[in-house]
Structure 1
Amino acid sequence: MSKTAKVLVAGSVVLLAAACGQARSAPVPAAHAVTSTTATTTTTPKPAPPTTAEAQQMLNTLGYQARQANGELDDETKHAIVAFQKVQGLPRTGVVDDATAAALRSPRTITPQHDTPGTHLEVDIAHQVGYLVTDGKVGKIYDVSTGDGTGNRITPLGDMHVVNQIDFWEYAPLGRLYRPSYINYDGIAVHGGEPVEPVPSSNGCVRMTNPSIDDLFPIMHVGFEVLVF
């Protein structure tokens, strides 16, 4: 009958088999491998800013009057950019910077004050823009400048209607008016002929660029509704 003895040799267990006179070492468990993982961060590349022609097309699609998508940063394009920046609550620079480019991709929409059938003009004093609304939907958006609020230089609020039009230049005491459409009998008109500043700066009228007035004058007949709010 064979006998087996256990002997500790240098930290290992050695089995002595008496029957065969051979010694064999018991296997030592292998050490567990340790795997090191490093967290990686994936960054999304910033979209390239639109070209001037692309920005013009985007503005026109949204209703802002950049007019021709010709790639030129002309006056009407600058006014369209400023009008867009006014509505989006951005600095009024007239330049498509990073913030403006981002807003063009995800713009704030406009809800008109009146959703009645037909077409009317809404003048938003707070944002200094005008909305041409047809059947409750905003179609075109114009850059405007209203009264600066000093003295009598105040644009009246309310639902008004065109009472008279002059289809040419009018030389008024406070300056030249291009194709004015008067909305009350106190001399307040929607007109062109003066610089349209990014802030309220008129004598009380609703001031627009001449091309914008050329758009609006043919439809702003006597009785046409103009809502100033």
Structure 2
Amino acid sequence: MSRTVKVLVTGSALLLSAACGQARSAPLPAAAPTVTSPTTTTTTPKPAPPSTFQVQQALGTLGYQARQATGALDDETRHAVIAFQKVQGLSRTGVVDDATAAALRAPRTITPQHATPGTHLEVDIALQVAYVVTDGHVAKIYDACTGDNVGERVTPLGDFHVYYQINFMEYAPLGNLYHPSYITTTGIAVHGGEPVEAVPASNGCVRLTDPSIDDVFPLLHPGAEVLIF
């Protein structure tokens, strides 16, 4: 008479069967469910746009021609914004967009060509800005407009010196010149008289806004250096 003997070996996880001679693995415990944490992304909040008052303060601190922080958007503030945009390599709109606001928070500065003692004026043809340099440091930055290079309407490059000034409005054949300071014998001057465009547009002179000329005229006495590059 045959009989079946079953032996359970504790700790081996094997069930032996004398009847069939087969061994099988004990079932594995059920895997614990996988818990996935939700992915969270953080976005840096966009800075609030600066107010006109804040823009005027920032530009004035940097030396641009925004002379007073009044909170009112005037022509000089617009020209100061354009001059800033020129220096920063931005679109010359006169409007403080996101790119201009970002540049105001981390502005590019200007290094003068001549770091000589005293005060002189430098005019950057490529950027279309003029700046007053005092003892090797840029003190003021102005929106400027130079010759449009059509025909003879070219602003000459070089190191010039003022040889005479006219302290009133001069009515010239090519337009009115506000307080011109002449630097050549061929009629090239630094003067006021609107408009000051965002691109080269003068007859060859260096044109600034009238309030800017009011700042610069006393500095451009006969013998004062005007560097155009």
TM-score range for the pair, normalised by the shorter chain length: 0.7 to 0.9
**One-letter code of the match for 1:37?**
S
- Which residue in the other structure is 1:80 paired with? 80
CA contact (8 A) 2:59 2:65 kept: yes
- Which residue in the other structure is 1:51 paired with? 51
**One-letter code of the match for 1:6?**
L
- Which residue in the other structure is 1:197 paired with? 197
**Alpha-carbon deviation of 1:33?**
4.7
Task: Tell me the SS of whatever aligns to 1:100.
Answer: helix
Q: Distance in 1 between matches of 2:206 and 2:218?
A: 17
CA contact (8 A) 1:161 1:226 kept: yes
- Which residue in the other structure is 2:126 paired with? 126
CA contact (8 A) 1:181 1:190 kept: yes
Structure 2 alignment gaps of length 5 or more: 1-5, 16-27
Structure 1 alignment gaps of length 5 or more: 15-27
Q: Distance in 1 between matches of 2:160 and 2:119?
A: 14
Q: Distance in 1 between matches of 2:30 and 2:204?
A: 89
**One-letter code of the match for 1:166?**
I
Q: Distance in 1 between matches of 2:153 and 2:29?
A: 93
- Which residue in the other structure is 1:219 paired with? 219
Q: Distance in 2 between matches of 1:136 and 1:93?
A: 30
**Alpha-carbon deviation of 1:13?**
8.3
Task: Tell me the SS of whatever aligns to 1:221.
Answer: coil
Q: Distance in 1 between matches of 2:58 and 2:133?
A: 19
CA contact (8 A) 2:120 2:219 kept: no
CA contact (8 A) 2:117 2:136 kept: yes
Task: Give matches, 1:167-186, under 5 Å.
Answer: 167-186=167-186
Bigger drift between 35-44 and 61-70 goes to 35-44
Summarize deviations over 1:41-78 as a string: whole Å, max 9, x none: 11100100100010010011111111111111110000
Summarize deviations over 1:131-188 as a string: whole Å, max 9, x none: 1111111110000000000011000000000010000011111111000000111100
Q: Distance in 1 between matches of 2:93 and 2:30?
A: 70
**One-letter code of the match for 2:37?**
T
Paired positions, count: 213
Pick one of 6, 9, 21 that aligns with 2:8.
6
RMSD in angstroms over aligned alpha carbons?
2.2
Q: Distance in 1 between matches of 2:44 and 2:184?
A: 55
**Alpha-carbon deviation of 1:37?**
2.6
**Alpha-carbon deviation of 1:117?**
1.1
**Alpha-carbon deviation of 1:30?**
6.5
- Which residue in the other structure is 2:23 paired with? none
- Which residue in the other structure is 1:152 paired with? 152
Q: Distance in 2 between matches of 1:170 and 1:51?
A: 39
**One-letter code of the match for 2:8?**
K
Task: Tell me the SS of whatever aligns to 1:218.
Answer: helix
TM-score, normalised by the number of residues in structure 1: 0.87
**One-letter code of the match for 1:197?**
E
CA contact (8 A) 1:177 1:194 kept: no
